[in-house]
Amino acid sequence: MTTTPTTATRTDGGAVFMNGNALRDEILAELKAKIDAEGNPEICLATVLVGDDKPSQIYVKSKGKKALEAGLQSRHVGLPGDIAQADLEAEVQALVDDPTVHGILVQLPLPDGLDAEPVLDLLPPEKDVDGLNERSMGRLVRGKAGHVPCTPRGVMRLLERYGIETSGKKAVVIGRSTLVGLPQVLLLGRKGADATVTLAHSRTADLVETCKDADIIIGAAGIAHLIKAEHVKEGATVIDVGVSRTADGIVGDVDFDAVQAKAAAITPMPGGTGPMTIACLMENTYDAYHMINGTTPA
Ligand code: GUN
């Protein structure tokens, strides 16, 4: 386990500021060095975006840009929001069949009227760099090799980087999405991480009671400023995965100003878990290349 970087900055209240932008840049630089050392093989991430949702366009553009920074290739497939389900599936199948594509990401959510499930299920586990379909999730549950969803993987990387002990600790994950909450529970509770994990959600009867003894709180409910000082034990680690669009702009699940005065470590929003999702997508794509070729990473 690494220790808290001596250069870590602290919030006004003294909490370690878990800097996702800085860690993302470290991870991308490490990936680039590995790919250089392997003679710069062409490793390609394909992104699929259906429709013209502005935030999704921004996320996907950023994924393409960061892929290039990490020494990967990126291919973008933009499709109209009124595409037929069968045509969308044919586009994704073409990427599955293309040997020059190693990782495929279908940006979610899809526009109304399209069903994501059969689209995701087209992806073989090796190319499912989002780790979101039932085969990848099954592998995670069964402890088999496969891609782990990027956001919860990014949370685990932040915890490791900042030397936050998970073994024997009480963790509460708030939110039960397949994108974050469910895989996050598995990652924190599995052998090696060894946390004792509680899964809370919007119907949890008393969230303060559930959180107030936790050593680690992960907010992934998508409810603006749900987690306040009263939820947080003195010295806890608080990680914000929530994204809510409000009249005041984009805010997370954590009321940062109030919570940072009690927490020992906290992620900002933005600049915490978001960049880590992108970094882990690039790591998964690099791993995909080696899985497909049966080779060993540098
Ligand atoms: N939409 C928001 N986050 C994600 C993600 O991690 N993967 C995909 N595919 N869509 C998303």
The predicted-structure confidence for 76-133, as pLDDT tens digits, reads as follows 999 999 999 999 999 999 999 999 999 999 999 999 999 999 999 999 999 999 999 9
Do 154 and 115 reside in the same domain of the chain?
no
Do 154 and 118 reside in the same domain of the chain?
no
Q: State how far the Cα of 156 lies from the Cα of 148, in Å rounded to an integer.
A: 11
Q: Residue 209 belongs to what domain range?
A: 150-274
Ligand 1 binding pocket (C-beta < 6 A) is 105-108, 130, 150-151, 179, 277
pLDDT confidence of residue 8 = 86
pLDDT confidence of residue 5 = 67
pLDDT confidence of residue 6 = 55
Do 111 and 199 reside in the same domain of the chain?
no
CATH number, position 93: 3.40.50.10860
Q: Is residue 218, in this structure, part of any structural domain at all?
A: yes
Q: State in Å: Cα 201 to ligand 1 middle.
A: 20
Do 52 and 109 reside in the same domain of the chain?
yes
Residues of the chain with pLDDT under 50: 1
* For ligand 1, mutation pick of 59, 60, 62, 133 (most atoms within 8 Å of CB): 59
Q: Is residue 178, in this structure, part of any structural domain at all?
A: yes
Q: State how far the Cα of 189 lies from the Cα of 221, in Å rounded to an integer.
A: 19
pTM of this prediction exceeds 0.75: yes
CATH number, position 270: 3.40.50.720
Q: Is residue 133, in this structure, part of any structural domain at all?
A: no
Q: Is residue 22, in this structure, part of any structural domain at all?
A: no
* For ligand 1, mutation pick of 105, 123, 180 (most atoms within 8 Å of CB): 105
Q: Is residue 20, in this structure, part of any structural domain at all?
A: no
Domain count of the fold of the chain: 2
pLDDT confidence of residue 1 = 44
pLDDT confidence of residue 298 = 81
Q: Is residue 174, in this structure, part of any structural domain at all?
A: yes
- Could you identify the atom of ligand 1 that is nearest to the CA of residue 151? 6
Q: Is residue 265, in this structure, part of any structural domain at all?
A: yes
Do 210 and 257 reside in the same domain of the chain?
yes
Q: Is residue 101, in this structure, part of any structural domain at all?
A: yes
What is the three-class DSSP state of 291? Answer: helix
Q: State in Å: Cα 84 to ligand 1 middle.
A: 21
Provide the total of helices (H) and of strands (E) in the chain, helices listed first.
10, 11
Q: State in Å: Cα 220 to ligand 1 middle.
A: 13
Domain boundary among 71, 90, 124: 124
Catalytic residue among 32, 66, 128, 130: 130
Do 116 and 182 reside in the same domain of the chain?
no
Size (the chain), residues: 298
> For residue 203, with 0-12 CB atoms within 10 Å meaning exposed, 13-18 middle and 19 or more buried, which class applies?
exposed
Do 116 and 168 reside in the same domain of the chain?
no
